[in-house]
Amino acid sequence: MIEINGLTKIYKLSAKKKKELKTNKNVKIAVNDLSLVAEDGQITVLLGPNGAGKTTTLRNVSTLLTPTKGYIKVNGHDTVKEAQKVRDSICFLTNEIKLDEHFTVDYLFTFFGRIKNLDDATIEKRKKELFETFDMSDFKDKRIEELSTGMKQKASIVVNLVNDPEVVIFDEPTSGLDIVTARSVLDYLKKLRNEGKTVIVSTHIMSEAEKLADKVAMIIGGRKVIEGTIPEILAKTQTADLEDAFFKLYMENNCSEKGDKDE
Ligand SMILES: Nc1ncnc2c1ncn2[C@@H]1O[C@H](COP(=O)(O)OP(=O)(O)OP(=O)(O)O)[C@@H](O)[C@H]1O
Ligand SMILES: [Mg+2]
């Protein structure tokens, strides 16, 4: 279980970032007082537009970043005070994490399994299962530098899942993937959910949220604007589908610099 309690993350802005964000302010409130629980045996989807704060939230959950305010617990362990315990139980996947180009998928899989202290028999068993699931037999012996974007993404996914983590944190799981591969990733996330794992993913793709989510948290401008099952969200917003609900909430909440004004 993941419990996010009043998470606020404020970035200090470099001169370059200020230019990029077209602001004179010295800080950016990327996530603003966000609370959310992701239950075991459920897929929780963070849904929001570009710059909403999804990646920032997941980086805090995965211990890469420290909250400015608030705290997060993963299976009861605080992500700051007990970071290593949290790291032991999670996998964190983002398309910004790159594998070393020089090695083969097979070799890297074994390498990461050993980093996680798995014995070779367990590593081989996991390898067989995951390479089959993601249809990777054809390119498992190729070096990362020889792979297409989608193949690289698959390689990153399986390497991260080597130790069968209890908590799966996935930032934009289908980014860069074709529809066949994307489907296999979404199916695998559902399988993990059905095994009782905690799965939290981010996306800006409504149809993906509709396919995956046991619970959706919509984030706009760093704030959670609504949370619930899809039927609950449609009922609350009196809309017919998630996209309509999103636009309604977007119009109501879209002061993208709102967080900054509050400061
Ligand atoms: N290192 C950083 N320094 C300063 N500002 C940052 C930094 N990282 C992100 N931001 C800003 O924080 C806000 C939230 O960014 P974040 O990457 O969490 O959004 P996102 O919801 O993941 O967006 P996307 O859908 O584009 O991936 C954005 O305005 C972004 O420009
Ligand atoms: Mg992101």
pLDDT tens digits, 38-82 = 999 999 999 999 999 999 999 999 999 999 999 999 999 999 999
Beta strands in 106-180 (DSSP E): 167-171
**The pLDDT of residue 198 is above 70:** yes
Kindly state the helix (H) or strand (E) to which residue 8 belongs, with its residue range: strand 2-12
CA of 4 to the centre of ligand 1 (A): 18
Q: What is the per-residue pLDDT for 66?
A: 98
CA of 57 to the centre of ligand 1 (A): 10
Ligand 1 atom 25: the closest Cα is on which residue? 50
Q: What is the per-residue pLDDT for 184?
A: 87
Residue 100 dihedral angles phi and psi, to the nearest 5°: -65, 120
**The pLDDT of residue 212 is above 80:** yes
* pLDDT band, very low/low/confident/very high, at 218 (cuts 50, 70, 90): very high
Average pLDDT estimate for 107-130: 95
Average pLDDT estimate for 13-21: 88
Mutation probe of ligand 1 site: the residue of 4, 7, 10, 11 with most atoms within 8 A of C-beta: 11
Q: What is the per-residue pLDDT for 31?
A: 98
Q: What is the per-residue pLDDT for 181?
A: 84
**The pLDDT of residue 256 is above 90:** no
Q: pTM value? A: 0.91
Spell 58-92 as b/e; 16+ CB within 10 A means b: bbbbbbbbebeebbbbbbebebeebbeebbbebbb
Reduce the DSSP state of residue 35 to 3 states and report it: strand
Q: Which ligand 1 atom is nearest residue 31's CA?
A: 14
Mean of the per-residue pLDDT values of the chain: 92
Q: What is the per-residue pLDDT for 260?
A: 46
